[in-house]
Structure 1
Amino acid sequence: MGNSFSSMGREGAGGRRIARVGMQMRLSLISFDLATVVSSTRVVDRRAASAGGTPRGSARGAMQQCPNNDRLRRASPHPLIDINSRSSRLAPVPREANAASWRRRARPLLGTIVEVAACTTDEPAYRRAADAAFGCVARYHAAMSFHEAGSDVRAIAAARRGATLDLAPETRHVIAAALALSAQSDGIFDVGVGAELVARGRLPMPPVSCPGTAALAAEALRLEDDGRLTVLRPIWIDLGGIAKGAAVDAAVAAMGDAGLSIVRVNAGGDLALRGGEPQRIAVRGPDGVLVDAGALADGAIATSGPYAGSSDQDASALVVRGRRARWVDRAVSVVAPSCLIADALTKVVAILGPDAAPLLRRHDAQGFSVDASGRLERVA
């Protein structure tokens, strides 16, 4: 699936995100006595790596000092989940305090490995739920991929001025959210960047006769009350900076609808959790170092940024509409109640840095960056 959106456009081999619409989220920052080794990769003790210490505020129940650090350690013999891994090797799943076992399946979708996991003893129920989750993700992929000939995104690229299109429900949902976020961010987040990304060679040239224009999506697209989309002017959009998070949200919801209460979905770093014990999350810094980001319960986290060994991310890719990302050399993560929001806001945080705080607070979200030394800097 075409990754992009804006400055952090197409993400590197490690760039990712997370979550579930409507879920309540809590990310507890934990101070560590010991550094931990996961898969032979160094994990930075954030308390030691941050010279000035990591902020430990308690803004709206998001990042807080964890009151049950010992309990989390006992519950997690494999203490860290690397949300940025693209390999088919599944990350360790922490054990729950009860006797139920974790079950996991994975499939290649969205240009990465999508893993769905659940803590349950009912294998048939898990398989039904996993199939439903993968089906959700596949629908998002088919509808919103810039690369798929039959996708809604391709149909929009081929549409002439004044055309009205029928969209898949998934596409309507994502475009509505993207237009709202564009308005809230004064265009910092905007999906109308397809032509710019094609010009840079970061997306393929679509086989259409209408050239894409450089315009905000809100100036070129209008969602009608009946759910159809009117194209006010030709535009090439790219939903890669928000659709993967939305797909993860849908997958988590599908597993819940199938009767499972403790689930996790990870699409190459767009990760959502619902139910069960908090799970400790590791974020990969620009040089590949894993940094423990804390414990996540009932929420989502998305990460985006430059990674060692990746040719997909360079400084020129971080300039969109004349704006250069402030945190061009850092991994940027956002924790939010939904993966869609977390996914999109990583780009806003990358461009604005600390100035993204008001928008993060508006969405009950928090952001942080990790530099090459493993130092974590919090936003909002």
Structure 2
Amino acid sequence: MGNVADLAQCRRARPLLGTLVEIQARGAGAAEAVRTAFGQIEEIHRLMSRYEPASDIGRFNAAPVGWPIEMDVRTLAVLAVAAELQVASDGAFDCERSPAQSPSGCPGWTLEGAVLRKHRQVRLDLGGIAKGYAVDCAIEALRSFSLDYALVNAGGDMRHAGAAPARVALREPGSPARTAMMWQLDNAALASSSVGGLAPPPGAAPRIFSRREPLELPAAAGATVLAPSCMLADALTKVVLVCRAPRHPLLARYGACTLLYRDGKLRG
């Protein structure tokens, strides 16, 4: 058996999911594995992008109240987790975009088998949780090949698989030129979210919303969560930030933990 240096390696990047997605693979059939993994991500982008009118989410957002919309099984899987997390977090995680308030407290949408139905004027944005799911799907595709190392990174949402761990740098929220800490990612996933995005200008509007309360979070606030799946890691960063709780009880429930948390306050 050859050493690591003898293994075929492939590293490619493409703009997808509203960010730059990079896939690295090392082992037999690495190039084919990377092509297959990108195919999985392209499918998730096609199904769940709110910017694509023909996507599952695009069709739902354009549909009138009460109209049943059939969904792909993969979209249903993400929506089921989103609904579960919304209830479990008491609304800290919420995939409704600019939701209309309901005086009766009824849900804005429900899953009925393979059908999604809206009950009031509401638009969905799966955003980060769909991005995390796409990373998970790409990793599953890479696992079908004989690889020693696989890493998928979608704008900071990443997951690793293989015998050799990945050494990753966690950036300071709001200041991406600074490294906050290094981490050995070993057959796990992590995701990072910051309230103002990368290097937010002073007074930048928050990119994370919740119906629970006015957030008033500083633009430099951010969190990185380690979890078994990238879909969970991404969603739980929002819970940590909205609740200002780096040790939120939901983390333990899903086998996750916070690696990095910044409340955005200036320190001397």
Q: TM-score range by the shorter chain?
A: 0.7 to 0.9
Q: Is the 8 A contact 1:146 1:238 kept in 2?
A: yes
Residue pairs, 1:1-380, within 5 angstroms: 99-120=6-27, 122=28, 125-192=29-96, 194=97, 196=98, 213-214=100-101, 219-225=107-113, 227-285=114-172, 286-288=174-176, 289-305=178-194, 306=196, 309-310=199-200, 314-318=204-208, 320-321=210-211, 322-324=213-215, 328-354=219-245, 356-367=247-258, 368-370=260-262
Cα deviation, residue 280, structure 1: 2.1
With over 3 angstroms needed to count, the CA separation of the structure-2 counterparts of 1:115 and 1:312, relative to structure 1, is farther
With over 3 angstroms needed to count, the CA separation of the structure-2 counterparts of 1:190 and 1:319, relative to structure 1, is closer
Cα displacement string for residues 313-368 of structure 1 (whole angstroms, at most 9, x for unaligned residues): 83554553233165652221000000000011111111112265201111110112
Q: Is the 8 A contact 2:217 2:264 kept in 1?
A: no
Cα deviation, residue 98, structure 1: 6.4
Give the whole-Å Cα distance in 2 for the aligned partners of 1:218 and 1:135. 38
With over 3 angstroms needed to count, the CA separation of the structure-2 counterparts of 1:325 and 1:143, relative to structure 1, is farther
Cα deviation, residue 308, structure 1: 5.7
Q: Which residue of 2 aligns with 1:27?
A: none
Where structure 2 has 5 or more consecutive residues not aligned to the other structure, the ranges are none
Q: Is the 8 A contact 1:318 1:325 kept in 2?
A: no
Cα deviation, residue 116, structure 1: 1.2
Report the residue type matching 1:173 in the other structure: A
Give the whole-Å Cα distance in 1 for the aligned partners of 2:105 and 2:126. 11
Report the residue type matching 1:335 in the other structure: L
With over 3 angstroms needed to count, the CA separation of the structure-2 counterparts of 1:355 and 1:296, relative to structure 1, is closer
Higher strand share: 2
Identify which range, 333-342 or 216-225, moves more after superposition.
Answer: 216-225
Q: Is the 8 A contact 1:241 1:343 kept in 2?
A: yes
Q: CA RMSD in A?
A: 2.8
Where structure 1 has 5 or more consecutive residues not aligned to the other structure, the ranges are 1-95, 197-211, 376-380
Give the whole-Å Cα distance in 2 for the aligned partners of 1:269 and 1:217. 35
Cα deviation, residue 252, structure 1: 0.4
Cα displacement string for residues 99-154 of structure 1 (whole angstroms, at most 9, x for unaligned residues): 4253211111112211111111x3xx222221221111111111111111211112
Q: Is the 8 A contact 1:274 1:298 kept in 2?
A: yes
TM-score, L = length of structure 1: 0.62
Relative contact order (alpha carbons < 8 A, sep ≥ 6): 1 or 2 greater? 1
Report the residue type matching 1:224 in the other structure: E
Q: Is the 8 A contact 1:326 1:353 kept in 2?
A: no
Give the whole-Å Cα distance in 2 for the aligned partners of 1:247 and 1:308. 21
Q: Which residue of 2 aligns with 1:78?
A: none
Give the whole-Å Cα distance in 2 for the aligned partners of 1:102 and 1:219. 48
Give the whole-Å Cα distance in 2 for the aligned partners of 1:317 and 1:263. 30
Give the whole-Å Cα distance in 2 for the aligned partners of 1:164 and 1:104. 42
Give the whole-Å Cα distance in 1 for the aligned partners of 2:254 and 2:138. 21
Q: Is the 8 A contact 2:246 2:261 kept in 1?
A: no
TM-score, L = length of structure 2: 0.85
Give the whole-Å Cα distance in 2 for the aligned partners of 1:312 and 1:244. 27
